[in-house]
Amino acid sequence: MRTQVAIIGSGPSGLLLGQLLHLAGIDTIILERRSRDYVLGRIRAGVLEEGTLNLLDRAGVSDRLRKEGLIHTGFDICFSGERHRIDLSKLTNGKKVVVYGQTEITRDLMAAREASSAATVYEALDVEITDFDTKRPRVGYRHDGQTHEIDCDFIAGCDGFHGICRASVPEDAIVTYEKVYPFGWLGLLSETPPVSEELIYVNDERGFALCSMRSPTRTRCYVQCSLSDTIEQWPDDRFWSELKGRLDPETAATLLTGPAIEKSIAPLRSFVAEPMRFGSLLLAGDAAHIVPPTGAKGLNLAASDIHYLSAALIDFYASGNDAELGEYSRRALARIWKAERFSWWMTTLLHQLPEDGDISTKLQQAELEYLFESRAAQTMLAENYVGLPY
């Protein structure tokens, strides 16, 4: 078969790109190796920048988000047993973030794609990309026991950190930068009301913790854990007791606990691959970069990549000129590296870093005290958290 843009991966990157290109009359196919339900079953991000909201508005998939999303104008940082608020809106002339689960965004984007009748193949196996160093790239895959070939103009590598697109690029054509953190995040989802109306990030000697949410009745919480930990070592009671031990006493006393409806451990890394374009192959989202989730940037970076990539592809098909495509990697990386820096900074500020020695705790204490004595320091945090301009 033939299409204009073959998109590999039906996470937020692939689905959002497919929707924006479809609205511009550009033909696409999405190939996803997992089932639709498996993709919907992944619990991931929760906080959306205004830039992401505006892009979802433009994609025509934000009705439910605008109704159900929780508008947040600030969040707390709890350290030395006390909560301190970062007033995002006051520090950024009225900007805010919205809490709305990535699962729901994926659901809304899938519904839009199904309504558009654009082609999506779930459980597409052994996807292989070839000739992307030419103007006639090809994609092969297996589905229902049949082998298929796609001729296209471009391949969008939206297949995440473990996908095949970045892995298909010759080693001498790509440079990667990586920092793996020596701890993980144990996340738990429960049908219990959040302990606070806004998020609480915790720096405690026992470790980092985060109290977030998905709705007024659905809590999403995390605790820093060892990379060698397993889910079996963390029964619900241990999770809740550890979370309470890291929170200030007043908040701990009001925390309502309940059974986990999802529990998972995620490693943390900072990762960037440069460049993001290889002839007719363009990488976007987690296929090109990973941030530790502390700064709530992963999903939002995927969105800004798709903002740049969709505009460049639309311009190419409108003008026949690939100048904008030639600028894609530079534009996206400029914003990616600033989000990488912020996510690294927030991660090293809030997590226990025993391998860095006792001095790391003293340095964190000094930075947290300075943060809440300085409007300039709070403004730096706030303008990065609400999202830097595209």
Quickly tell me which residue has 């701990």 as its tokens. 252
Residue with smaller CB distance to ligand PHB, 137 or 184: 184
Residues 6+ apart with CB under 8 A from 84: 76, 77, 78, 372
Q: What residues between 142 and 201 interact with ligand FAS by CB under 6 A?
A: 158-160, 163-164
DSSP string, 11-39: SHHHHHHHHHHHHTT--EEEE-SS-HHHH
3-state helix, strand, coil in the chain (%, to 5): 40, 30, 30
Catalytic residues: 72, 201, 293, 297, 385
Which residue in the set 139, 302, 336, 382 belongs to the binding site for ligand FAS (CB under 6 A)? 302
Which residue in the set 5, 7, 26, 31 belongs to the binding site for ligand FAS (CB under 6 A)? 31
Residue with smaller CB distance to ligand PHB, 137 or 295: 295
What Rg, from alpha-carbon coordinates, does the chain have?
21
CA distance 386 to 390: 12
Residue 220 Cβ vs ligand PHB, minimum distance, rounded to whole Å: 4
Residue 282 Cβ vs ligand PHB, minimum distance, rounded to whole Å: 27
Q: What residues between 107 and 136 interact with ligand FAS by CB under 6 A?
A: 124, 127
Residue with smaller CB distance to ligand PHB, 46 or 387: 46
CA distance 129 to 388: 34
Return the number of other C-beta atoms located less than 10 Å from residue 133's C-beta.
13
Q: Are 28 and 118 in contact (CB under 8 A)?
A: yes
Residue nearest to ligand PHB (CB): 46
Which residue in the set 3, 7, 13, 62 belongs to the binding site for ligand FAS (CB under 6 A)? 13
Which residue in the set 5, 6, 11, 17 belongs to the binding site for ligand FAS (CB under 6 A)? 11
Which residues of the shown chain bind ligand PHB in the complex (CB under 6 A)?
A: 45-47, 199, 210, 212, 220, 293-296
Tokens of 2: 């033939």
Q: Which residues bind ligand FAS (CB under 6 A)?
A: 8-14, 31-34, 39, 44-46, 102, 124, 127, 158-160, 163-164, 266, 285-286, 293, 296-299, 302
